Amino acid sequence: MHALSIPTWIIHVSSVIEWIAAIWLIWKYGEVIGNRAWFALSLGCYQH
């Protein structure tokens, strides 16, 4: 198994944190405006 370099780990971890923050912000926006469609969007489940 190959080990990842420290800079690669930093990029990976920061990307995961960024996605978590984006999901949380979209969810909170849906709560604020009262539109549950935003909840589905935050989870990646787009429905018509």
- Mean pLDDT for the chain overall: 87
For residue range 4-41, what is the model confidence (pLDDT) as tens digits?
A: 899 999 999 999 999 899 999 999 999 999 998 888 88
* pLDDT for residue 12: 93
Q: How far apart are CA 20 and CA 45, in angstroms?
A: 16
Domain ranges for the chain: 19-48
CA separation, residue 44 to residues 5, 8, 21, 26, 47 (Å): 30, 26, 14, 11, 9
In this structure, the number of other CB atoms found within 10 A of the CB of residue 8 comes to 10
CA angle 19, 31, 45 (to 5 degrees): 50
pLDDT on residue 16: 92
Report the C-alpha gap between 13 and 33 in whole angstroms: 31
Q: What is the pLDDT of residue 24?
A: 93
